[in-house]
Each structure stands twice: as C-alpha cells, then as structure tokens.
Amino acid sequence: MDRTTIAAYNDAASTFADDWHAQPPPTDLHFLIRHYFRKGPTADIGCGSGREVAWLEANGYPTIGYDPSEGLLFEARSRYPQYRFEAAALPELSPIKDESFDNVLCETVIMHLGRGLVAASIRRMMAILRPGGILYVSWRVGEGYDVRDASGRLYAAPDPGLVTAQLNDAAILFDGEAVSVSSGRRVHRIVAQAVTRAS
C-alpha cells in the first residue's frame, strides 16, 4: 500500500471513520453481496473503520476485517469490539493463508495502490479464496493516476482490463460502473468466482 495514504489514515482515523459512518448505507453494495456471496468465511480487505464487517456479520457472513492502518483498526475495534480485525496490506496480505475464505470484499481500496501493485494484489486476493469462492473488487473511476487529495491519499484509476487480466482462472459474474449510493462517487465493480488454481 502507498505509505503516504496509510499515514493520512493514521493521522485522521477518527475523522475518516465519522465521515464513512455518516454516509447512507451502501444498499447497492449490499445487493451485490446478497446476490453473489456464499454464506461462509469472508475477508474484508481494507476494512477501514469496520462498517462493512458489521453489516456482513449481521447478515450471516462471518468476517475478518483487514487493514494496513493501525489508526483505522483502532476505530474498528472500538466501534465493534465483538468482531475480529487484523493488520494486513496489499499486495502481500502476509498473515492470510491461501484458500482461507469463501468471499473476499475489497471495496474502493485498490485505488490507493501504485499502478505496479494492482495486478499482484488481484492475484493475491484470488489466492486466498477457496475454489468456487467469490471476489468483489471496486475502485473510483475518473480520478487519473497519481492524484492525491488534500490529506495526501493516493487516488489511482486502474484500467479494468488490468484487473480482468488477472482473472484468467475465474468466471467474471459482474463487471460495471455506477454511482455509489453511499459515497456518491462513480465506481467500477467486478465480481469474479474462483474456478481453478493456476499451477
């Protein structure tokens, strides 16, 4: 992950958390999860302050939230002490073993990666899925590469083809763009199902 972005989240974790929790519920995301996810162990990669982990748990998807920001993990653990949150960063996700989860959620996270890390991150998230498991990944569109906001967070716009090129052994179930009900930002979303493992 981009170090400056992680530092920005650490420095103002409570402010970012308050903002996210004040946004409308992401009912469009919830619809896709209900339609595609399996009722099994789930990883929220880039869980932030834990809003989606709480929703997943409440709706029958036992979930572990992972984030590289200790500040955001503190917020998540404070708000939801009953759930599990751990430190992990893309692309390595080093604490996570291969084939650990039925579902992987990665909501508007890969836009914080330098362009050289996107492909490896998609491959790694596919690797932690069990055969037949589901990956949901999304990112903001229209921001351009190497754009930073006032807090220093990196916003990149991965080419959808770069993402789908990493899904050769997967079935792409959904691929589209829409304005997020929660953030009001335009996002690109892909849902893929792991079929086989590359040797």
Domains belonging to the chain, first-starting first, are 3-194 (3.40.50.150)
Q: What is the rounded average pLDDT for all residues in the chain?
A: 94
Least confidently predicted of 2-16, 48-62, 141-155: 141-155
Amino acid at 177: E
Q: Sorting pLDDT into bands at 50, 70 and 90, what band is 197? A: low
pLDDT at 144: 57
Hey, what are 76's tokens?
Answer: 């998540």
Helix (H) or strand (E) holding 34: helix 27-36
Q: How far apart are CA 16 and CA 88, in angstroms?
A: 19
Q: Sorting pLDDT into bands at 50, 70 and 90, what band is 195? A: confident
Q: How far apart are CA 196 and CA 199, in angstroms?
A: 9
pLDDT at 26: 97
pLDDT at 63: 98
136 and 189 Cβ atoms separated by less than 8 Å:
yes
Q: Sorting pLDDT into bands at 50, 70 and 90, what band is 199? A: very low
In the 8-state DSSP scheme, what is residue 90? T
pLDDT in tens, 105-163: 999 999 999 888 999 999 999 999 999 999 999 999 875 567 888 999 998 888 899 99
pTM: 0.94
- Answer yes or no: is pLDDT of 174 > 90: yes
pLDDT in tens, 161-172: 999 999 988 999
User: What are the φ/ψ torsions at residue 17 (nearest 5 degrees)?
Assistant: -65, -45
Say how many C-beta atoms besides its own lie within 10 A of residue 78's C-beta: 13
Over residues 63-67, mean pLDDT: 98
pLDDT at 38: 97
R_g over Cα of the chain:
15
- Work out the percent of the chain whose per-residue pLDDT is above 70: 96
